[in-house]
Structure 1
Amino acid sequence: MTISTIKKTALPVLLMLFCVFALSIQSCKKKSRSDMGAELYKKTKNKVFREATPEGLAEVFKQVLATNKGKMDNPKLITAFYEKNDYDPIFVMDHIFNGDVDITANYFEKASQHGLDPKMFKADQIKQLVAKFKDKKGIKNLDEAYHDIADLEILMANSLITYSSALQFGMISPRKIYSRYFTATKRPDSSSMMQALNAANLKTYLDSIQPKDPQYLLLQKALMAGGTAQGMTKEETTRYLVVNMERLRWKNKPTQQKYVIVNIPDYRLDVMENGKSILNMKVVVGEGRNTDNNISLVEYDESDKIDRPFSRETPQLNSMIHSVQVNPVWNIPQSIASKEIMVEAAKDPYYISNKGIDVYENGKKVEDPETINWANAPKDKYEFKQRPSDDNALGKIKFLFNNNSSVYLHDTPAKSAFSQAMRALSHGCVRLGDPKALAKAVFGDGSTYEKIAKAMDEDNPEPTTIAVPKKLPVYITYVTCWADSTNTLQYRPDVYGLDVVLYGHLQKFLANTNQIAAL
């Protein structure tokens, strides 16, 4: 027999075997579904289930899904899941009588350990329905049985997805609540949600999604202990922990071995390498709406859900430091020019020249700016640039990274600000307490750094741009409570009022806990 003959003979056989295999899978599935009533009767000892059929359940299931569409967090995904699986009641058939559903409800009941309201996850309703299935007289007729199956499936699916997403991604999308938030933050998608619905062992799955970050565990421990921070009420302490645990659940954390991170409320910059700070320094950040700390979590009200950032607040963002400018020219923003430079020039005609500022009109340098009547000059007619000098507002160096807010890290001649406790004082950029040290951390201590250090000390400096040999990630964050290296909790004033906004949105979720109350 030739090879070609063998191939011709083998192909139909293989096709036939494949069809038999496929039919066997389908028949097994149909057989399994056709035995649903008998299997439920065997498990519940309730005669009502003897008459239950997959087809009868499917009709009721469709109706219950349609009725409760507006009461689910993810109605499209849950509906599509059950449609795809022929309305197979996976939780009732596979997870009630092995204890999985009760175990899951126990996790939901302990959601307060994560700063979440257990009512969100309907543990009581789930347990009440489970009790009906385990009571051989708990369900009175077939229609009630079908409705209870559908109700329990929807409650479990919805609560499991919501709980899973909350622990892995957080309850709130920061991009939706903060006007000046530009950090890449991953949110739950259909793939992550389906993992919850397809979990074979629910306890194993629920254990796997518990946040493992040591910071999270320490805040969680403090929340469960119910203590009170010095100078704060118990309620305020709790709310500090809750909002910062939510931040820790957001998937926006650095993954690189080395990066720069600025924490706005702590007025601090760290260079992190392999999980440890190799450099830290004081910084000055942009002015905020709550620098006097009058707006507190205790004074939260409905209007605090709206983010009203002060125009000079430093944004939250992540980017890559790509270059530095040594002895930079400061291209003064129009807002600063009109509100500050022109105002001072109106008082003192020599203010502009004394500050080393050049004035441009239609791109051409104005030779005698002191002759201009700045009190009446149009606000948008002139451009202003400050030459490199000891008085330059950017100091001797600025670190550049791409962002849409025109902010950067930079030196400053105003050194006295670093001695102040409240350092939300800039126009939005981050002023560095030790810019040379940061340059050394970015470039190393080789010839490039030596060139930078020498140029910063020149008497008649020229602006110079130097590319970073290996771009370095930078993260500007906002964290008001964390555990330090000794596991002591640190608290910082909510200088921008962002805790208040976040807590307001968390409360909004908690206020809707009766969303699926009447299935």
Structure 2
Amino acid sequence: MPAAPGFRPKMSPLLALVLASFLVAPPVEAQISPFTQSIAAAAAPDSAIAAYYAQNGYAPLWTAPDQAERRNLLLTALSHAADHGLPVQRYDAVALADAFRAARTEGDRGRLDVRMTRAFLDYAQDLHSGVLTPSKVDPTIVRELPRLPVEQMFAVLENGDLGAFLAGLAPKAPAYAQLMKARIGLERQIAQGGWGPVLTAKLKPGASGAEVVALRDRLVAMGYLRRSATRDYDGEVQKAVQQFQLAHGLEADGVLDESTLAELNVAPQDRLKSILVAMERERWINIDRGHRHIWVNLTDFSARIIDDGKETFTTRSVVGKNAPETRSPEFSDEMEYIVVNPSWSVPRSITTKEYLPLLKKNPNAAGHLKIVDSKGRVIDRGKINFGKYTAANFPFSMRQPPSDGNALGLVKFMFPNKWNIYLHDTPSKSLFAREVRAFSHGCIRLGDPFDFAHALLEVQSDDPRGQFQKALDSGQEQAIKLDVHVPVHIVYFTAFPGAKGQMNYRRDVYGRDALIYDALMEAGVVPGGQQG
């Protein structure tokens, strides 16, 4: 059908620029090739890709006869995207290979070249730094992602070793490879029917019968017990239950109680979800974590010092309560100093939401805290009419001087950040005996803070205990600088390998993993064990 008189099809600014450049060229070169036209049109929606092709004269990156090795390297890498729990359809290797076989025209070839480039950039970014932007999934995951500069990726195509680049994209932390192995094992287990029937009975060592047989068979399927014909809850079964409990953050008493029963009955499909999320989280922290670093896993309620890949210190921790304003955030920073005999500057939110209502009823409430004005002066609370203030206009802050009863205990560990999160001691020691330890306002309380301080100082002091004790005995607030700042990683892994490679699982205490898993599914990730 002929176009109406005067009709002109819309043209992208980039394509218009390309056409203009040819219009002023000598007559012999005035015609734009279909290949160039198709590349300009296909690349136009992505400014970075469009700019790169334009700067390089629309030369092919993947489709020229002498680029077979390059495209085969990429197609091979893309064919393994599912191994990493990535959204395969985003850079479908099979579809790209089919497109190469089906290409007949220069236009086909140009469009395919751009598709390959887009697949390369997406795959590299997803595998290196994650499929998702975590803060968009949950605003309390405030981690900065190690995104690759687009210029760096294009430079690899110009003069780099593409094979080495692709091989080095995935996280190098040993945990990532172990998670990949666990994913394969779970998918195989799911394909074989799972771990058997759900267990229903709570049991103790010494029990016998069909319910013990069901427990035995499930422990065998999970890899905690060798095959046997026992019907008794004997020492071997008890030991297997204890190993399971240790791997799931439970009290290792060897008794099949309610919490152990609940964890045993978690389906392999749900464990696979934890693995896929953990692999994504590993991509979010695909960075140099430091040969010495502090690892705080919120779901494990622990804080550890890692030296050259080995755990050299560990202590129990208490983390933020499971409420929107108190959940501990996830991020990385550097610990700079230790404060001994700290004073506690009460956070504004706690001052106005918890203490101000009490002060309105009784000006002498919370007498252990000082009322401080904007200049740092302590104000006589008897001279303050608390009733006339609201949370919005309360002009004072509150501070607790150093003491044994200070909310921060006798030491805190500082890595200054805008969320005002740090590690610290606490006078509330009983909470460390709990199985689930989410009770704080967001900061991380340590079960063995003095030993933690000694471990940090031992690399810079001949007498770390003596140095710390001297500061403690002074009764005055003192800061001890760390000669070398120590990276701190506050993480949230519900699936992680233990020292011997056995997978550990923890409960999703904040519900973050569920949100991340749903976002991964929306992005196109398909759990292999649940296909078909």
TM-score by length of 2: 0.70
Partner of 2:175: 215
In the superposition, relative to structure 1, how do residues 85 and 450 fare at CA in structure 2: closer, same or farther (>3 Å)? same
Q: Contact between 2:299 and 2:508, CA under 8 Å: does it hold in 1?
A: yes
Q: Secondary structure at the match of 2:328?
A: coil
Is 1:160 aligned to residue 194 of structure 2? no
Match of 2:52 among 78, 81, 86: 81
In the superposition, relative to structure 1, how do residues 443 and 95 fare at CA in structure 2: closer, same or farther (>3 Å)? same
Shift of 1:146: 1.1
Partner of 2:372: 360
**Cα distance in 1 for residues equivalent to 2:175 and 2:31:** 50
**1:404 aligned partner, one-letter code:** K
Partner of 2:91: 121
Partner of 2:411: 397
**Cα distance in 2 for residues equivalent to 1:92 and 1:321:** 50
In the superposition, relative to structure 1, how do residues 436 and 194 fare at CA in structure 2: closer, same or farther (>3 Å)? same
Q: Contact between 1:160 and 1:196, CA under 8 Å: does it hold in 2?
A: no
Q: Percent identity?
A: 27
Match of 2:480 among 452, 456, 466: 466
Is 1:388 aligned to residue 402 of structure 2? yes
Deviates more, 1:266-275 or 1:359-368: 359-368
Match of 2:502 among 481, 488, 505: 488
**Cα distance in 1 for residues equivalent to 2:281 and 2:345:** 35
In the superposition, relative to structure 1, how do residues 325 and 382 fare at CA in structure 2: closer, same or farther (>3 Å)? same
Q: Contact between 2:304 and 2:314, CA under 8 Å: does it hold in 1?
A: yes
Shift of 1:266: 1.4
Q: Secondary structure at the match of 2:408?
A: coil
Shift of 1:389: 1.9
**2:95 aligned partner, one-letter code:** Q
Partner of 1:92: 63
Is 1:432 aligned to residue 446 of structure 2? yes
**Cα distance in 1 for residues equivalent to 2:163 and 2:480:** 54
Match of 2:341 among 327, 348, 351: 327
Partner of 2:296: 262
Is 1:271 aligned to residue 305 of structure 2? yes
Partner of 2:267: 233
Partner of 1:313: 327
Is 1:179 aligned to residue 154 of structure 2? no
In the superposition, relative to structure 1, how do residues 127 and 201 fare at CA in structure 2: closer, same or farther (>3 Å)? farther
Q: Contact between 1:184 and 1:252, CA under 8 Å: does it hold in 2?
A: no
In the superposition, relative to structure 1, how do residues 67 and 256 fare at CA in structure 2: closer, same or farther (>3 Å)? closer
Shift of 1:166: 1.8
In the superposition, relative to structure 1, how do residues 466 and 122 fare at CA in structure 2: closer, same or farther (>3 Å)? closer
Match of 2:80 among 103, 106, 110: 110
Q: Contact between 1:111 and 1:117, CA under 8 Å: does it hold in 2?
A: yes
Q: Contact between 1:359 and 1:384, CA under 8 Å: does it hold in 2?
A: yes
**Cα distance in 2 for residues equivalent to 1:247 and 1:256:** 18
Is 1:284 aligned to residue 318 of structure 2? yes
CA deviation map 1:263-287 (0-9, x unaligned): 1221111111122111110111112
CA deviation map 1:147-201 (0-9, x unaligned): 2211221222211222122222222344555534454532121233215534787
Q: Contact between 2:454 and 2:468, CA under 8 Å: does it hold in 1?
A: no
Q: Contact between 1:482 and 1:489, CA under 8 Å: does it hold in 2?
A: yes
**Aligned length, in residue pairs:** 420
Shift of 1:348: 6.2
In the superposition, relative to structure 1, how do residues 504 and 222 fare at CA in structure 2: closer, same or farther (>3 Å)? same
**Cα distance in 1 for residues equivalent to 2:168 and 2:412:** 43
Q: Contact between 1:160 and 1:197, CA under 8 Å: does it hold in 2?
A: no
**1:80 aligned partner, one-letter code:** A
**Cα distance in 2 for residues equivalent to 1:182 and 1:503:** 18
Q: Contact between 1:182 and 1:316, CA under 8 Å: does it hold in 2?
A: yes
Q: Secondary structure at the match of 2:426?
A: coil
Shift of 1:254: 4.1
Match of 1:248 among 263, 267, 282: 282
**Cα distance in 2 for residues equivalent to 1:366 and 1:129:** 76
Shift of 1:418: 0.8
**Cα distance in 2 for residues equivalent to 1:81 and 1:198:** 11
Partner of 1:450: 466
In the superposition, relative to structure 1, how do residues 432 and 148 fare at CA in structure 2: closer, same or farther (>3 Å)? same
**Cα distance in 2 for residues equivalent to 1:95 and 1:174:** 40
Partner of 1:413: 427
Q: Contact between 1:325 and 1:465, CA under 8 Å: does it hold in 2?
A: yes
Which sections of structure 2, spanning at least 5 residues, go unmatched?
1-27, 191-221, 223-263, 527-532
In the superposition, relative to structure 1, how do residues 86 and 463 fare at CA in structure 2: closer, same or farther (>3 Å)? closer
TM-score by length of 1: 0.71
Q: Secondary structure at the match of 1:352?
A: coil
**Cα distance in 1 for residues equivalent to 2:390 and 2:123:** 57
Which sections of structure 1, spanning at least 5 residues, go unmatched?
1-52, 134-138, 140-144, 290-309, 513-519
Match of 1:130 among 94, 100, 112: 100
In the superposition, relative to structure 1, how do residues 359 and 232 fare at CA in structure 2: closer, same or farther (>3 Å)? same
1:368-383 map, 5 Å: 369=382, 378-379=390-391, 380-383=394-397
Q: Contact between 2:341 and 2:411, CA under 8 Å: does it hold in 1?
A: yes
Q: Secondary structure at the match of 2:524?
A: helix
**Cα distance in 1 for residues equivalent to 2:98 and 2:29:** 23
Q: Contact between 2:38 and 2:107, CA under 8 Å: does it hold in 1?
A: no
Deviates more, 1:246-255 or 1:153-162: 246-255
Q: Contact between 2:296 and 2:303, CA under 8 Å: does it hold in 1?
A: yes
Match of 1:147 among 83, 107, 115: 107
Match of 1:65 among 19, 25, 40: 40
**Cα distance in 2 for residues equivalent to 1:368 and 1:90:** 73
Q: Secondary structure at the match of 2:48?
A: helix
Partner of 2:15: none
Deviates more, 1:187-196 or 1:407-416: 187-196
1:477-516 map, 5 Å: 477-510=491-524
The CA RMSD measured in Å over matched residues stands at 3.3
Shift of 1:349: 6.1
Q: Contact between 2:424 and 2:444, CA under 8 Å: does it hold in 1?
A: yes
Shift of 1:311: 1.3
Task: Choose 1 or 2 for highest CA Rg.
Answer: 1
Q: Contact between 1:283 and 1:430, CA under 8 Å: does it hold in 2?
A: yes
**Cα distance in 1 for residues equivalent to 2:272 and 2:441:** 32
In the superposition, relative to structure 1, how do residues 468 and 453 fare at CA in structure 2: closer, same or farther (>3 Å)? same
Q: Secondary structure at the match of 2:419?
A: coil
**Cα distance in 2 for residues equivalent to 1:105 and 1:431:** 48
Partner of 1:12: none
In the superposition, relative to structure 1, how do residues 327 and 462 fare at CA in structure 2: closer, same or farther (>3 Å)? same
Q: Secondary structure at the match of 1:465?
A: strand
**1:439 aligned partner, one-letter code:** A
